[in-house]
Chains A and B, each alone.
Chain A
Amino acid sequence: MNAVFQFLIDALSLGSIYACIALGIALIFGVMNLVNLAHGELIMVTGYTLLLTHGLPLPLRIIIAITAGVLAGILMDKLAFRFIRGAKPATLMIVSFGIAYLLQNLAILFIGSQARAVALPSWVSARISVGGIGVSPLDLVTVLVTVLLLAGMGLVLYRTPIGRQMRAASEDFTMARLVGVKSDRVISTAFALAGFLAAVAGILLIAKTGTVTPTMGLAPLLAGVVATVIGGSGNLKAAVYGAYLFGALTVAIQAALPTDLVAFRDAVAFALVILVLIVRPQGLFIRRAVAERV
C-alpha cells in the first residue's frame, strides 16, 4: 500500500513540473501553430537569473527570476517571431530552434559551459517521512503551485476579455482579426504566459536539482513536447493530462522494470509514445476528430 502512495506522490510531483512546461508549449502552439523549441531556454534564462541573483533574499530572487522568464518570453516574440507572422509551421519551428541555439551559446559565452550550482536553503529540498512514505515539502509545493496555476490559467482563458480573444485567435486567426482582435497583443500575452509557466517550472526544477547548465532546458522541453503530443496538440487540458500521464509512466517504468532493463526506461517510454501516435494520432485526450485547440 505504501508503495502505491509513494508511486502516486512521485508521479504527481514529476507530472506537475511537466504540466507547467507542456501547458506553455500548448498555449503557443494553440495561438500561433508554433512548436516553440526555444521554450526550454525560458527555463534556462530563469535558472541563470536565480544563479546570478545569489545573495539576495529568496523571495526577491524568485520574483526577479519569474520576471526574467516573462520578459524573455515577450522579447522572443518581439525580436523574432513578430517578423515572421503567418509563416509555415516548419519555418517558425526552425527559427525557434535558432533562438534556442543562440541563447544556449550566449550562456556558454558569458557564463561558461560547466554546470553551476545554485545555492538554495536546504529546507527547500528536504524530504520527510510520513507513515513510511517519503514526502518532500517541495513535492507538495510543486503539486499545489501547479494546480493553482492551472486553475488561474483556466480563469484567464475563460473569464477575461484577453482570454476570450486568445481562444478566438486559436480557433480561427484570420476571422478573429477581422472582428477586431488585436493579434499582436494576443500573441504577446501568450508568450508572456508561456514565459511565466516556464519560469515557475524552472524554479521548481532547480529547487530539486540545484544546478544550472546552458542546455538544462532540453530535457524538460522534450518531456513537455511529448506530453503535448500524447495528450493532444494545442488543447490545453489535454496537454496537462498528457503531462501527468507521461510523468506517471516514467516513474512507473523506473519502479517496475528489472534493474538490468531500467537503462531502457526512456526507450520503453518513447516506444509507448510512438504506439499512442499510431493508434490515436489526434492524442489520447481529444475526443472529437476536429477539436478546438484552446
Chain B
Amino acid sequence: MNGKMRGSLVVLAAGALVLTGCTATATNQGGDGGDNAGGDEIIIGAVIAETGVMNQYDLPAMAAVEMAIEDLNAEGGILGRQVRLIQEDYKSERNLAPTVAQEVINQGADALIVSCDYDFGSPAALAAQSAGLISVSLCAGSPRFGPIGGLDLGFSAGMVSQATAAAAAEWANTEQGWKTAYVLEDPTLRVDTDWANGFIDAFEHFAGEGAVLGKDTFQNSDPSINAQISKIQALPTPPEVLVISSYAPGGASALRQVRAAGIDVPVLLNDALDSTGWFDAVPDLANTWVANHAQYHGGDPSDKVNEIIDRYVEAQGDFPPSSLIVDGYIAMQMIAQGMERADSTEGEAVTAALEDGTPVETVVGPATFSETLHTAADRPVTIAALEGGEPTFAARLTASYLPEIATE
C-alpha cells in the first residue's frame, strides 16, 4: 500500500504540475507573405488570441482596431501612408507568441498590437522590441507593461489599475458620500491585487484614516465564500460600500453569494469585472457599480465612443461584451499620434515621442505616458451603474490623487 501510495503521489504531483498549465505546445506556423518593410504603406501586425482563453478580451478590441484603421485611412493614413492590418493567432499560448510575432515582423510590420494582458502580451512585445518596433497591448492594466516590466518599447492602451481604483474611490467618497468601505480582494491575478490596494490607499486618502473597515481575500476558483461573508456580517456596523476586486467567474460568484446572504449595501466592482456575460449569475442585479473604460451600451458623453459602439452593433449584431473595446481604438490612436509626432515608424523615435509628456488625444480624453509609465494613469475613468441587466453611464472622472505605483 505504501509503495503504491508513493507511486501514485509522484504521479499526482506530476499531474498537478500539468494541470496548473505547464503545457508545451508545438509551433506549427507556416507560410509568410513577402517583405513589405519600407514600402508605401504602414503595416500593423496584430498578434492576438483568436482562440483560447484570451479571445474574449482580444477579439472585441480588435474590432475597434479595424474601425480605427478605416478612420485613419479615410483621413489620409499615418505619415501620409495607408495603413494595412495583418493579424495572426497566437492561440492564447504564451510560448507560441514570439514565433507568431516574428512571422508578423517578417511580413514587414511597422508596429505590433499585442494581447490584452502583461503575461500574455509581453512575449510578443519583447519580440517587437528586439526588432526595434513599438508594440501596444490592447488593454493590459498593469503598470509593468512598459519599462518597469522590461518593455522599453512596449505600451498599453489600458489604464493603470491603481489609477482606475483611485478614481473609483474618489467617486465613491466625494460623489456618493460613502464614508466607510470593505474590500474583498481576489489575489489570483496581480492586476486585481493592485486595484484593491490602490482603492484602499485612495479611499483612506479621501475619506480619512480607518475608512476602510477591513479587507478579506478569496480565490477566483473558490466554490464558496461563506467564511468571508460571515466575517462581513459580524462587523459592528455594515460598510457603506462593498468593493470586489476580481474577475469573472470568481468575482461574479462572490457578488451572487454576497447578495444571497442579504448584504444589500452598494457594491463597487473593478474594471476586470466589466462584462455583461456574468450578469445573469446575480439574480435581481442592482445597487451595483463598475469602474470601466467607457459606456458601451450607448449614452457615453463622447460621440466618438457612441459611434464606435454603433458600428460594433451593426457589424456584430449585439453590444460588445465589455468596455475594453474602446482600448482597441485607443491603441491605434497611440500608434498613429506617436508616429506622426516622431515623423518616423522607428521604435525608439516613436517611444520618445509618446514619452515626451504631451498627452495622446483618445476617444475618452487625454492619456499621458512617461519614461517610467507606458500605461496611462491619467485617462478619464468611467463609472457605470449596473441595474436591470444593463450598464448605464453614471460618471467620468480622473482621480485628483494617485496612489504610489511601485516601479521596481
Q: Which residues of A contact B (CB under 8 A)?
A: 3, 6-7, 9-10, 13-14, 17, 29, 33, 35, 37, 89-90, 93-94, 97, 100-101, 108-109, 112-122, 125-129, 134, 136, 139, 205, 208-213, 216, 218-223, 225, 229, 233, 250-251, 254-255, 259, 262-263, 265-266, 277, 281-283, 289-291
Contact = CB atoms under 8 A, between A and B. Distances in A.
B53 A255 contact: no
Contacts of B221: 216, 218-219
Interface in B269-323: 275, 277-284, 321
B19 interface: yes
Given A122-B260, A282-B1, A113 B224 contact: no
A17 B223 contact: yes
A118 B252 CA distance: 11
Contact of B277 (A114, A209, A281): A114
A220 B230 contact: no
B365 to A, nearest CB: 28
Contacts, number: 182
A263 B217 contact: yes
B229 interface: yes
A251 B9 contact: no
Given A115-B248, A126-B260, A254-B228, A282 B2 contact: yes
B253 interface: yes
B5 interface: yes
A13 B224 contact: yes
A136 B259 CA distance: 12
B11 A90 contact: yes
Interface of B: 1-2, 4-9, 11-12, 14-16, 18-19, 23, 51-56, 92, 187, 214-217, 219, 221-224, 226-231, 233-234, 248-249, 252-253, 256-257, 260-262, 275, 277-284, 321
Contacts of A128: 262
16 contacts: A10-B224, A10-B226, A33-B4, A33-B8, A37-B19, A118-B281, A125-B256, A134-B226, A205-B223, A208-B223, A208-B224, A209-B257, A210-B281, A211-B253, A211-B281, A263-B187
A136 B260 contact: yes
Nearest to A208: B224
A56 to B, nearest CB: 16
Given A139-B226, A254-B228, A255-B231, 4 more contacts: A7-B230, A14-B226, A89-B11, A126-B260
Given A10-B227, A266-B219, A114 B252 contact: no
Contacts of A13: 224, 226
A113 B54 CA distance: 8
Contacts of B9: 229, 277, 281
A263 B257 CA distance: 20
Contacts of B226: 9-10, 13-14, 134, 139, 251
A290 B3 CA distance: 11
Contact of A89 (B7, B19, B257): B7
B277 A115 contact: yes
A14 B218 CA distance: 14
Of A35, A114, A119, chain B has the most CB atoms within 10 Å of the CB of A114
A210 B282 contact: yes
A35 B8 contact: yes
Given A113-B56, A210-B252, A290-B1, A125 B257 contact: yes
A29 B11 CA distance: 13
Nearest to B218: A254
Contacts of A129: 262
Contacts of B249: 115, 209, 211-213, 216
Contacts of B4: 33
A291 B4 CA distance: 12
Given A115-B248, A259-B216, A209 B253 contact: yes
Contacts of A205: 223
A226 B163 CA distance: 40
Given A97-B18, A126-B260, A254-B227, A117 B281 contact: yes
B223 A222 contact: no
Nearest to B193: A263
B8 A89 contact: yes
B32 to A, nearest CB: 26
- Sorted from nearest, which 4 A-B pairs have the closest CB atoms? A210-B281, A122-B283, A219-B221, A211-B249
A294 to B, nearest CB: 14
B227 A255 contact: yes
A266 B19 CA distance: 16
Contacts of A89: 7-8, 11
A229 B15 CA distance: 14
Nearest to A250: B227
A147 to B, nearest CB: 18
Nearest to B219: A266
B7 to A, nearest CB: 7
A20 to B, nearest CB: 11
A112 B56 contact: yes
A33 B280 CA distance: 41
Contact of B52 (A9, A108, A221): A108
A209 B226 CA distance: 11
Contacts of A134: 226, 229-230, 233, 261-262
Nearest to A121: B283
A184 B317 CA distance: 50
A114 B248 contact: yes
